[in-house]
Amino acid sequence: MKIKGKRVYLSTIPSFALSVLIMIGTILVVFGLGEWMPKLIKINVKICGDIAYGMFELMVVVGCFFIVKWNPKSIWYAPLICNILGFIIAITNPAFWKTSMWIVFSGGWALSLIASILGVWVGRRAAIKKPDKQQ
């Protein structure tokens, strides 16, 4: 009989579902912060947009790291699903490549790939260090 160690609840959810949850969460954060923050806190709309896109990238990078850490095979699709909002903006916005937005999103795409690779490395390393205990 195998004894299961302490597991994080989110690690039991399939990687595809976690990636979709990250995608939905980032969409809510970008539009929520971008629209409501200037009204709640009387600051410039551009600053709120920058904060919203920064939070978007941070959520995607952290999400990709943990998703791929818990399931290393998901490196092939987790970064793509999590970054779908950035891809849609890049395709549909004609001014995307003319403004500095492409730098932010391209940097986020690169960071999510790096975080995913680190997640695979950390996840496999943790699996090697913790062999299954048997009674």
Residues 19-58: tens digit of each pLDDT:
999 999 888 888 887 778 777 777 777 777 778 888 888 9
Q: What is the pLDDT of residue 115?
A: 93
Supply the range of the domain harboring residue 24: 13-129
CA atoms within 13 A on the CB side of 37: 19
Domain membership flag for residue 53: yes
Q: What is the pLDDT of residue 3?
A: 47
Domain membership flag for residue 28: yes
Domain membership flag for residue 8: no
For the chain, the domain total comes to: 1
Domain membership flag for residue 122: yes
| Position 130 pLDDT exceeds 70 | no
Residues 86-102: tens digit of each pLDDT: 888 889 988 888 887 78
Q: What is the C-alpha separation between 60 and 21, in angstroms, rounded?
A: 11
Domain membership flag for residue 64: yes
**% of the chain beyond a pLDDT of 70:** 87
Tokens of 20: 């979709």
Mean pLDDT throughout 65-94?
88
Domain membership flag for residue 2: no
Domain membership flag for residue 134: no
